[in-house]
Amino acid sequence: EIVLTQSPGTLSLSPGERATLSCRASQSVSSSYLAWYQQKPGQAPRLLIYGASSRATGIPDRFSGSGSGTDFTLTISRLEPEDFAVYYCQQYGSSPRAFGQGTKVEIK
């Protein structure tokens, strides 16, 4: 069973700053099956990145994903006010299809 650990738990930043979120897996994850989601209060998660680095339809290019094996990163190049939310990584290549525990990006 693959366990995903996200860090940091909370990231306090100002609009315009760069955000770097980490997702580390306990075993190697095929890059084809690593996704990132954004969730705002009271809303369903929204897919941002799939296949470790491919942006989902309609996702702004300030969001980018990278990494392979056990270490993956979500980068938000310049934070917009609407980007303050919780972000989850997920591996969906093997069962159980685990999620990380989430990183909250909050306004500093």
- The answer to whether 72 contacts other proteins (rule: CB under 8 A) is no
**CB of 107: closest distance to other proteins in angstroms?**
19
List b or e across 57-72, with b for residues whose CB sees 16 or more CB atoms inside 10 angstroms. eebeeebbbebeeeeb
> Which residue number, 73 or 99, has a Cβ lying nearer to other proteins?
99
Place of tokens 């890059």: 31
- The answer to whether 51 contacts other proteins (rule: CB under 8 A) is yes
> Which residue number, 50 or 84, has a Cβ lying nearer to other proteins?
50
Supply 4's token pair.
Answer: 């995903």
- The answer to whether 104 contacts other proteins (rule: CB under 8 A) is no
Supply 100's token pair.
Answer: 């990380």
Contacts of 83 (CB under 8 A, 6+ apart): 19, 38, 62, 76, 105
> Which residue number, 54 or 66, has a Cβ lying nearer to other proteins?
54
Find out whether the peptide bond into 96 is cis, omega within 30 degrees of 0: yes
- The answer to whether 56 contacts other proteins (rule: CB under 8 A) is yes
The contact set with other proteins (CB under 8 A) reads 35, 37, 39, 44-47, 49-51, 54, 56, 88, 90, 92, 95-102
